Amino acid sequence: MNSKTKLEAPIALKKRHIHDIHGHQRSDDYFWLRDDNRETPEILDYLKQENAFTEQEMAPLAGLQTELYNEMVARQEPDLESVPYFKKGFWYVSRYEQGKEFTIYGRRKGSMDAPEELILDCNERAENHNYYQLGDLALSTDSMLMAFSEDVVSRRQYTLRFKDLSTGEELADVIEDVSAVVWANDNKTIFYVKKHPETLLPYQVYRHTLGDNIENDLLVYEESDDTFYVNIYKTRSEKYLVICIDSTTTSECLVLDATKPTGQFVPFLAREGDHEYSIDHFQDKFYIRTNNSGKNFALKTSDSLTNENADLWETIIEARENILLEGYELMRDWLIVEERQAGLPVLRQINHKTGESKTLSFNDPVYTVFSHYNPEPDTSKFRYQYTSFTMPATVYELDLDTGETKLLKQSQVVGEFASEDYQSERVWVTARDGIKVPVSLVYRKELFNHQNPILIYAYGSYGHSLDIGFSSSNLSLLDRGFVYAVAHIRGGEELGRSWYEEGKLLKKQNTFNDFVDVSKSLVELGYGAKEKVFAMGGSAGGLLMGAVINQAPELYKGIVAAVPFVDVVSTMLDESIPLTTGEYDEWGNPNKEHYYHYMLSYSPYDQVVGQDYPNMLVTTGLHDSQVQYWEPAKWVAKLRELKTDQNQLLLYTDMEAGHGGKSGRFKHFEDIAREFAFLIDLAE
């Protein structure tokens, strides 16, 4: 091909395919773009054509992309080290070395002045791989053996390996397709969760003894209901191993004495529909976070390993209507609870003996605070992390007895950055049904003039709350005059469990309405110019993008949809696709007719029509196991066929990555620079 030949936008072939269910026929002309093995030359060629077209269309922005990437990298500390923590005789530290993409893990015996013992250098492990992700890193009870898992494909399928830390030798035991691992207390037995080879659901727990043939590993638990996910962990007391089995609405925990690995796991409390609970153990008590007495969760205790009646549990914290109990940390004399009230996280300490309660207070209008890593419970020192739109991540150590707080570390922004140059705000927008939706905003003070370009970000699914944290990357937008907004729409859990329930299943449309109403209101309130409104979302947030541009395309100048879940009906009808069955309680099961028609009414792919759409950048990863690459590929093909505008429509497929994009400390800035360049160019 002549290097000067201008590429036309790729036009995908249409191949007639009809889905027939509930007496309804649904046309899917781009169904052929699906290849589970990712090997079909015709499909790979099409994706490469799309990439070439995107590269051509964004070529004029190459200088801006490079400028943005260099800015983002330059803000990072060249050498970055974690706050050291002490556990069982060793001080542990993780760090990045200058110019390296991956973490190095080390420890020092007894004192930070002792010589460092290298545990794992992920830079060495990542050599000769296009992608690398460390999964679990778990030490045996005596701290001398290490289990670690790695993904080099980007499908979240981890290979489990072992290392003898006394010799530095890697052991011969290798186990494939593992999602979680925990050690028994004998320093030789491990339990691991295995993923299903097709659906990738974590569904089996095996017991392995180091040195034994993997083929002889004992299956100790298998979950037969494919709407549940399986995980395993050790309690705070380190006395028990817990298999937790969770669906979107129901839980069950199985428990085993960690000193008796050949024993049988027993149910803590048998599963019961719509009862969610999780357990921990400390100071001879089981602690239970449960929704059996209220949807925003209570904290209760039990002295018994097996329970038949949850009503007999002793209540420490009642379930409350306006406060969500999100988590807790068990310390020697104090209980720390992580709560959420009026959309903001709260940390509260409660004395085990006296019941005395103290709440930590903060000044930012929007922020995030949560328990940092506290491996040693037998202390009054508690570490927590705080961040906001204008404050980089900061780790504090609080003396729970005296209230004295010590700053341990604050992430640094290299170069010219002053927190006071930026303003963060929180506003409440009234949605069309009268419900008030919280919105978090940040902008550079001197550039704010009520005619700014505005980027609105949201997610709104799975009860996932979008916590507000500092982003050094976002400075590249703020310093160019953008206002950045996070819409805490229904489907998240910012305002409690009901906020989630009002944005799922047959109420999913509330999620999209909230986002559209927030977009309109922010313009009316002067936070952004009407002709410079942009929106961004990823995964289920990409579904949000697809739904709102079908329903209100005129509101947006440009959209970034990252790994978007846009073919919701087809995917939820196919139980072979990873994660489908586990999400019926989120989206609905379209095998049931009323769910089918409701989901179809908002499905981004199915609802594409002949109308004008905003400028769009759509991204995906060929190896994505969460949202398969063919969903965005099909969506773009259909948009290109039907849209009536001349706006940009770009599809970029990372041929080496999956759902999370590129691996490594700096590589992911390439993705962000591409997205930001696309937005900044449109805003000018």
Question: Would you place residue 658 in the very low, low, confident or very high pLDDT band (cuts 50, 70, 90)?
Answer: low
Non-local (6+) Cβ contacts of 111 within 8 A are: 91
**What local confidence, expressed as pLDDT, does residue 342 receive?**
93
Query: How is the chain split among helix, strand and coil, in percent rounded to 5?
Result: 20, 35, 45
Is residue 171 pLDDT above 90, yes or no? yes
Torsion of CA 263, 268, 274, 279, to 10 degrees: -100
Strand partners, 350: 335, 357
List the Cα angle 608/613/616 in 5-degree steps: 100
386 within 8 A of 369, measured Cβ to Cβ: yes
Which of 237-251, 581-595, 647-661 has the least mean pLDDT? 647-661
Q: Which residue has the tokens 């993780």?
A: 94
Q: Note if 539 is an active site residue.
A: yes
Q: Tokens 């460092």 identify what position?
A: 116
Residue type, 416: E
The answer to whether residue 60 scores a pLDDT higher than 80 is: yes
Share of the chain above pLDDT 90, in %: 90
Among 58, 74, 48, CA closest to 676: 58
454: which strand partners? Answer: 483, 533
Asked whether 470 and 392 are in contact (CB, 8 A), the reply is: yes
For the segment 342-398, what is each residue's pLDDT rounded down to a tens digit? 999 999 999 999 999 999 989 899 999 999 999 999 999 999 999 999 999 999 999
Q: What is the chain's mean pLDDT, rounded?
A: 95
Least confident of 92-96, 308-312, 581-585: 581-585
C-beta separation of 272 from 252 below 8 A? no
DSSP assignment of 526-555: TSS-GGGEEEEEETHHHHHHHHHHHH-GGG
Annotated active-site residue 574? The verdict is no
pLDDT digit string, tens, across residues 631-641: 999 999 999 99
Residue pair 263/207 in contact by the 8 Å Cβ criterion? no
Question: What's the pLDDT band for 1 if we cut at 50, 70, 90?
Answer: very low
Mean pLDDT of 581-602: 94
Sheet holding 323-330, edge to edge: 323-330, 334-341, 344-351, 357-359
Enumerate the β-bridge partners of residue 278.
289
**CA 403/CA 349 separation, integer angstroms:** 10
Least confidently predicted of 118-127, 152-161, 272-281, 420-429? 152-161
pLDDT tens digits, 173-230 = 999 999 999 999 999 999 999 998 888 889 999 999 999 999 999 999 999 998 999 9
Phi-psi region of 674 (alpha: psi -120 to 50; beta: other; left: phi over 0): alpha
Query: Of these residues, 208, 488, 623, 659, which one is catalytic?
Result: 659
**Contact present, 33 and 12 (Cβ < 8 Å):** yes
Exposure string of 627-637, with b = 16+ CB inside 10 Å and e = fewer, is: bbbbbbbbbbb
The Cα 189–Cα 426 span in angstroms is 50
Q: Closest Cα partner for 131 from 104, 102, 105?
A: 102
Given a cut of 90, whether residue 656 has pLDDT beyond it is no
Report the b/e string of 396-413 with b at 16+ CB within 10 A. Answer: bbbebeeeeeeeebebeb
| Whether residue 90 has pLDDT greater than 90 | yes
pLDDT over threshold 80, residue 461:
yes
CA distance 176 to 200: 12
Q: Write the pLDDT tens digit of every residue in 16-49.
A: 999 999 999 999 999 999 999 999 999 999 999 9
Closest CA to 547 of 573, 582, 508: 508
How far apart CA 589 and CA 599 sit, in angstroms, is 9
pLDDT > 90? residue 78: no
| Cβ–Cβ under 8 Å, residues 466 and 488 | yes
Determine which one of 539, 603, 625, 663 is catalytic. Answer: 539
CA–CA gap between residue 456 and residue 446 (Å, rounded):
20
pLDDT in tens, 539-589: 999 999 999 999 999 999 999 999 999 999 999 999 888 778 888 999 999
**Between 554 and 96, the higher pLDDT residue:** 554
Task: Average the pLDDT over 660-684 and give the result.
Answer: 87
User: Does CATH place domain 78-320 in 1.10.3720.10?
Assistant: no
pLDDT at 466: 95
Cα 224 from Cα 192, distance rounded (Å)? 17
pTM, entire model: 0.92
Closest among 672, 41, 117, 85 to 371, alpha carbons compared: 85
pLDDT at 578: 72
Task: State the pLDDT at residue 155.
Answer: 67
Across the range 415-425, mean pLDDT stands at 96
Contact indicator for 623, 38 with CB cutoff of 8 Å: yes
For residue 94, give both structure tokens.
Answer: 């993780």
Asked if pLDDT for residue 650 goes beyond 90, the answer is yes
Class of domain 21-73+416-683: alpha beta
Task: Residue 305: name the closest of 351, 355, 263, 335 by CA.
Answer: 263
Q: How far apart are CA 88 and CA 61, in angstroms?
A: 53
* 276-285 CB burial, b ≥16 within 10 A, e <16: bbbbbbbeeb
> Which of 74-83, 216-225, 538-547, 605-614 has the least mean pLDDT?
74-83
12-16, 429-433, 616-620, 659-663 — which is least confidently predicted?
659-663
Q: Which two tokens stand for residue 31?
A: 């169904």
Query: Catalytic one among 624, 654, 663, 671?
Result: 624
As to burial, measured by CB atoms within 10 angstroms (0-12 exposed, 13-18 middle, 19+ buried), residue 226 is: middle
Residue with tokens 């095996």: 206
pLDDT at 4: 66
Output the CA angle 457-463-464, nearest 5 degrees.
45
Bridge pairing between strands 90-96 and 104-109: antiparallel
Domain ranges of the chain: 21-73+416-683, 78-320, 321-412
Residue of 98 and 368 predicted with greater confidence: 368
Q: What per-residue confidence (pLDDT) applies to 45?
A: 97
Q: What's the pLDDT at 192?
A: 98
Q: What is the mean pLDDT of residues 151-179?
A: 91
Between β-strands 483-487 and 454-457, what pairing exists: parallel, antiparallel or unpaired?
A: parallel
Burial class (CB in 10 A: 0-12, 13-18, 19+), 320: middle
* Rounded Cα gap, residues 409 and 420, in angstroms: 19
Q: What is the pLDDT of residues 486-507, one digit of tens each?
A: 999 999 999 999 999 999 999 9
User: In the prediction, which pLDDT does 130 show?
Assistant: 84
pLDDT at 200: 84
Q: How confident is the model at residue 403 (pLDDT cuts 50, 70, 90)?
A: very high
The CA–CA distances, whole Å, from 577 to 36, 175, 371, 543, 571 equal: 9, 23, 35, 17, 7
Residue 364: strand, helix, or coil: coil
Which of 474, 457, 620 lies closest to 541, judged by CA? 457
Please, which residues have CB within 8 angstroms of residue 190's CB and are 6 or more apart in sequence?
Answer: 138, 147, 181, 182, 183, 184, 207, 208, 210
Contacts of 57 (CB under 8 A, 6+ apart): 648, 650
**pLDDT for res 660:** 59
C-alpha to C-alpha distance for 613 and 139, rounded to whole angstroms = 52
Residue 664, pLDDT > 90, answer: no
